[in-house]
Amino acid sequence: MSSNKTNALSRRAFLRNSSLAGGGMIIGFNLLNSCKPKVVAEPTIDLASLDYNDFNAFIKIAENGAVTIFSPNPEIGQGVKTSMPMIIAEELDVAWKDVYVEQGILDTENYTRQVAGGSQSIRHGWDALRETGAKAKHMLVSAAAARWGVDPSECSVSEGVITNAAGETLGYGDVVNEAALLEVPEKVELKKPRDYKIMGKNAGNVDIDKITTGKPLFGLDYKTDGMVYAAVVRPPSFGHKLVSFDDSEARNMPGVIDVVTIGEKVRSLLAEDPSFSSKISSSDKVVVIAKTTWQAFKAKDAIKATWEEETPMESTEQHNKILTDLLDGSKFNTMRSDGNIKKAFAEADQVLERTYESPFLPHNCMEPMNFYANVTSEKVHLVGPIQTPAWKAGLVAKMLGREEKDILLEMTRMGGGFGRRLYGDFVIEAAEISQTINKPVKVVYTREDDMEDGIYRMAIKYRIKAGIKDGKVTAYHLKEAAVNDNMYGLIPNFFPAGAIENYQVDVASYKSNITTGAWRAPYTNFLAFAEQSFFDELAEMMEVDKIQLRLDLLDKVKPEDDERIQYSPDRMKEVIKMAVEKSGWGTKPSNVYQGFVNYYCHNTHVAEVADVEIENGSPVVKKITCVVDCGIVVNPLGAMNQIEGGVIDGVGHSMFGELAFEDGKPTANNFDRYRLIRMKEAPVVETYLMENEYSPTGLGEPTLPPAGGAVANALKAATGNRLYVQPFTKTPELLKVPEKEIIG
Amino acid sequence: MPTYQLKVNGTSKTVDVSEDTPVLWVLRDHMELVGTKYGCGIGQCGACTIHVDGTAMRSCSLTLSQVEGKSITTIEGLSEDGSHPVQEAWKEVDVPQCGYCQAGQIMTASAFLESNPNPTEDEVKNAMHGNICRCASYTRIKTAVMKAAENME
């Protein structure tokens, strides 16, 4: 008998009667929590008082052997609703085809980090999810062994069936009731990667049937009885504040229930939590409440609002000047400084200095922002697409003066996130509206609202300067000038930190009234292009091989001597070598122009090679070869999808993405004037995953940043023109191919 | 408000809505057919694509009078059980990332393959160019349309 066995029903092993169609008893293990050792008194559990919400992060197993696994993190298209349960199922040792996956709700007591952001779900969940599965398996095997009167070590498991030395078998469902009474083991042995049966094999998206048949899945599809729709009249420009409005026409329109103003609660929240002020306007807003979405949209257009300029209206022209002035100035914060760049530049034989420029970008999730709220005296029910449910539940509780336990937040599948749904200003809005009208309500943004009232990728300029002495790179100075916020603290420790003796990263920012925030691969989404274009140009100036320059620099990096260094030079060199081989680097016919990039961000190492060909006199991005080291790959089918999407997204935004501002307002507000990459512009993406046994890292972001650099370097090869400004289509004269190339 | 007689997925229904209501919102808010998605409202993204008498059209830009008496098919009615060759190809290739635009992609692809059962890759690209996928699952969309064409033969 195993020593961790007990007949006492503990808080960590619940048992309840089930009404599931499968019948019989179902257990829910408080498993993720059980991974965190906890000393608690063991009260007697009143079985009758337990309802579904008392269970935590879990596996549910029915007497008939059916297994349900809850996926804790929000799904934005990055595939975690498939891959996180795969990790649990692997260690639980059940057949993947028998697993039913459900989205977990927000549960801060029992899950940790229910966030979709930073490409961290799999990396952070890796140990806890594996232990969750393994501990449940251990309890099930122990229960079977006890029934047989044998030692658990004599039992083996395959696809949810336990077999003893005599060849007798018991299914998980047969012993689930006994297993539920066992103490959760403190420590269990985890599988070796070579023994994986589910991980490393292709698994299709768990929601594929619903997606392909149009079943309700997304926030916009969510509906309850009595729910009304809200469309919000927002300040027309950043800096505007509501003065007054005339709603007489709107009130008489079909389906209109009410017209109200909101803003007071948001302002009180901002007074308490100023950190959110760069994410939401503090102006009053006019809200039209109607029976249907279209009626709300129509009536919103009929509101005649008067606005006043509270803070100055800004423009792209002005930002360009401000950012250049910041780069030219001396007001920087130094984020990392090695050696003495000043001295090294003074002693250098050659110096290269270049400036790179990027615009604001909207996220343009295909599902416009929306959220459901029903604020009642009993509870606050919030439902919809949100990347940071815990943060938003906390802010709503604070804003409404409620306890966090009063908030029930359910995450729907999201029609894209890309960082926009980290902020959840729309959750706060929905809650204030529901409180004001005392009804269940769904706030729906029009596409125009979505693009004009964004929390954008900010405009940034980088200036990079390198010094060469005796044929070696001896100094490197990266300066960032950005609207609102500067790069996060890890970035100065990415490549080429550690590779160059005299190295410095300086940042400066300008505070704008335009709301900005994270956008898929924050900062690196543009920095990678700047840095990797720069290294290409540096190699040209030094008259050395472009790949060799990068490999030589990596040779100098010693992470063992500098714990700040984030990347692995060895893993980086491996992806570079693989990309050279797989892309046919240097061996292509003369009509194929290639551009090379290697990059590290979000704990993943990537190398990309772009192939550009000339068609009808214009350069066309035909193919990107992408090599990725993200450690163990949980679901190759999903991983490849993320990689392909990230690369094409990176190509698209570097080629076409731009949101300019005039008079405090974006000059585009829908897809007629804002260009996203489409089918015909999408290159072929050829993907290679490094095979190793490192713990897995993220894939939602890291393949995007290098794509712009690979394209720019290939375009330079094709046209002879170096690109310094994104989007590349902004300077069409630089995308022209010299006459001789067309003829020849 | 005027009433309209609509034939959606083989069933006739009467709706009582103002005449300017786009077909998209009639489907979503009045008929509980939420598979057809709102993306841009101006016919630029393709998320709201439906079939009207077999032709792919943007439901966000269609008025009720334009579709009265015609046969409308939405993603929910493309097949009874999700087994249309395009749906099957979407599953086989595992196309979606976020999945939001995919109903519109499938509706565009299925109408296209009706009119061109043996397309070249360039013809597929042309046909699908009007549908935006913000996750950029374009490679798989193209592969799935080609595969559906093969399976329909």
Token digits for B95? Answer: 């196309």
* B133 touching chain A per CB within 8 A: yes
Give domain limits for chain B: 3-77, 85-152
> Is the confidence at residue A332, as pLDDT, over 70?
yes
> Is the confidence at residue A244, as pLDDT, over 90?
yes
Beta carbons within 10 angstroms of residue A317's beta carbon = 11
DSSP string spanning A276-315?
GGGTS--S-EEEEEESSHHHHHHHHHT-EEEEEESS----
Chain B, 52 to 81: residues with Cβ < 8 Å from chain A are 74-76, 78
The pLDDT value recorded for residue A48 is 31
Spatial neighbors of A214 by CB under 8 A, at least 6 apart, are B33, B34, B35, B36, B74, B75, B76, B103
Q: Which residue has the tokens 């998980």?
A: A172
Token digits for A69? Answer: 């696994």
| Yes or no, beta carbons of B125 and A415 under 8 Å apart | no
The CATH code of the domain at B85-152 is 1.10.150.120
* Angle between helices A546-555 and A569-583 in degrees, nearest 10: 160
Per-residue pLDDT, averaged over A103-114, amounts to: 81
Fold of A13-211: Aldehyde Oxidoreductase; domain 4 (3.30.365)
Q: Which of B1, B20, B38 to mutate to test the interface with A (most CBs of A within 10 A)?
A: B38
At A695, the amino acid letter reads: S
Token digits for A292? Answer: 């249907």
- In order of A25, A58, A63, A534, the CA distances from A47 in angstroms are 12, 18, 18, 66
Distance from CA of B123 to the nearest CA of A (A): 10
The pLDDT value recorded for residue A16 is 31
Could you tell me where the DSSP H helices lie in A556-635? 569-583
Token digits for A510? Answer: 């300008």
Strands (E), A36-126: 59-62, 67-71, 99-103
The pLDDT value recorded for residue A117 is 84
* Angle between helices B121-128 and B138-152 in degrees, nearest 10: 120
Chain A, 70 to 99: residues with Cβ < 8 Å from chain B are 76-79
pLDDT band of residue A320 (cuts 50, 70, 90) is: very high
Examine the predicted complex and report whether its ipTM is higher than 0.90.
yes
Residues in chain B closer than 8 A to A212 (CB atoms)? 75, 82, 87, 90-91, 96, 102-103, 106
> Is the confidence at residue A47, as pLDDT, over 70?
no
User: Which among B28, B76, B91 has CB closest to A208?
Assistant: B91
Total number of residues shown for chain B: 153
> Is the confidence at residue A530, as pLDDT, over 50?
yes
* Maximum alpha-carbon separation in chain B: 47
Distance from CA of A420 to the nearest CA of B (A): 13
Q: Which residue has the tokens 């996203």?
A: A676
User: Which among B29, B82, B100 has CB closest to A212?
Assistant: B82
Q: Which of A73, A85, A119, A99 is nearest to A159 (CA)?
A: A99
DSSP string spanning A221-240?
G---TT-EEEEEE--SSTTE
Could you read off the pLDDT of B94-134 as tens digits, one per residue? 999 999 999 999 999 999 999 999 999 999 999 999 999 99
Distance from CA of A332 to the nearest CA of B (A): 36
How many beta-carbon pairs below 8 A join chains A and B? 177
The pLDDT value recorded for residue A14 is 34
Q: At A544, is the secondary structure helix, strand, or coil? A: coil
Least confident among A52-61, A630-639, A668-677, B58-67: A52-61
Chain A, 430 to 449: residues with Cβ < 8 Å from chain B are 446-447
Could you read off the pLDDT of A372-428 as tens digits, one per residue? 999 999 999 999 999 999 999 999 999 999 999 999 999 999 999 999 999 999 999
**Three state DSSP letters for A391-458:** HHHHHHHHHHCCCHHHEEEEECECCCCCCHHHCCHHHHHHHHHHHHHCCCEEEECCHHHHHHCCCEEC
Spatial neighbors of B65 by CB under 8 A, at least 6 apart, are B4, B19
The pLDDT value recorded for residue A28 is 41
- A341/A466 Cα distance (integer angstroms): 9
Taking CA–CA distances from B91, the nearest residue in chain A reads: A208
Residues in chain A closer than 8 A to B91 (CB atoms)? 204, 208-209, 212
The pLDDT value recorded for residue A4 is 33
Fold of A219-311+369-444: Aldehyde Oxidoreductase; domain 4 (3.30.365)
Q: Which of B97, B131, B146 to mutate to test the interface with A (most CBs of A within 10 A)?
A: B97
Global pTM value: 0.93
- A20/A24 Cα distance (integer angstroms): 8
| φ, ψ (nearest 5 deg) of residue A68 | -115, 130
- A44/B86 Cα distance (integer angstroms): 55
> Is the confidence at residue A256, as pLDDT, over 50?
yes
DSSP-derived letter for residue A567 is S
> Is the confidence at residue A17, as pLDDT, over 50?
no
Q: Which of A666, A229, A227, A248 is nearest to A449 (CA)?
A: A666
Q: What mean pLDDT, rounded, does chain A reach?
A: 90
Per-residue pLDDT, averaged over A181-198, amounts to: 92
Total number of residues shown for chain A: 744
Distance from CA of A604 to the nearest CA of B (A): 20
| Yes or no, beta carbons of A364 and B134 under 8 Å apart | yes
The pLDDT value recorded for residue A740 is 63
Could you read off the pLDDT of A474-521 as tens digits, one per residue? 999 999 999 999 999 999 999 999 999 999 999 999 999 999 999 999
> Is the confidence at residue A13, as pLDDT, over 70?
no
* B148 touching chain A per CB within 8 A: no
- A698/A418 Cα distance (integer angstroms): 14
The pLDDT value recorded for residue A499 is 98
Beta strands at B71-73 and B3-8: parallel, antiparallel or unpaired:
parallel
> Is the confidence at residue A700, as pLDDT, over 90?
yes
Q: A219-311+369-444 with A519-743: one CATH topology?
A: yes
Question: Is A677 within 8 Å of A655 (Cβ atoms)?
Answer: yes
Distance from CA of B69 to the nearest CA of A (A): 23
Q: B3-77 with B85-152: one CATH topology?
A: no
Spatial neighbors of A49 by CB under 8 A, at least 6 apart, are none
Fold of B3-77: Ubiquitin-like (UB roll) (3.10.20)
Q: At A610, is the secondary structure helix, strand, or coil? A: strand
The number of angstroms, rounded, from the C-alpha of A25 to the middle of its chain's C-alpha atoms is 38
At A38, the amino acid letter reads: K
The pLDDT value recorded for residue B96 is 98
pLDDT band of residue A147 (cuts 50, 70, 90) is: very high
DSSP-derived letter for residue A740 is H
- A518/A601 Cα distance (integer angstroms): 14
- A607/A575 Cα distance (integer angstroms): 6
The pLDDT value recorded for residue A19 is 28
The pLDDT value recorded for residue A26 is 37
H helix or E strand, kind and range, residue A381: strand A380-384
Give domain limits for chain A: 13-211, 219-311+369-444, 519-743
Beta carbons within 10 angstroms of residue A326's beta carbon = 22
Q: What is the Cβ-side half-sphere exposure of residue A432, based on CA atoms within 13 angstroms? A: 25
Per-residue pLDDT, averaged over A186-192, amounts to: 94
Q: In terms of pLDDT, which residue wins out, A66 or B131?
A: B131
> Is the confidence at residue A40, as pLDDT, over 60?
no
**A519-743 CATH, one of 3.40.50.300, 3.40.50.1220, 3.30.365.10, 3.40.1280.10:** 3.30.365.10
| Yes or no, beta carbons of A77 and B101 under 8 Å apart | no
The pLDDT value recorded for residue A38 is 25
Q: In terms of pLDDT, which residue wins out, A149 or A1?
A: A149
Q: In terms of pLDDT, which residue wins out, A500 or A68?
A: A500
Q: Which of B36, B98, B129 to mutate to test the interface with A (most CBs of A within 10 A)?
A: B98
Chain A, 587 to 646: residues with Cβ < 8 Å from chain B are 637-638, 641-642, 644-646
Residues in chain A closer than 8 A to B22 (CB atoms)? 294
| Yes or no, beta carbons of A447 and B39 under 8 Å apart | yes
Q: Which of A264, A257, A269, A258 is nearest to A242 (CA)?
A: A264
The pLDDT value recorded for residue A738 is 80
Q: Which residue has the tokens 């992060």?
A: A57
Which residues face A592 on adjacent strands?
A613
* Maximum alpha-carbon separation in chain A: 86
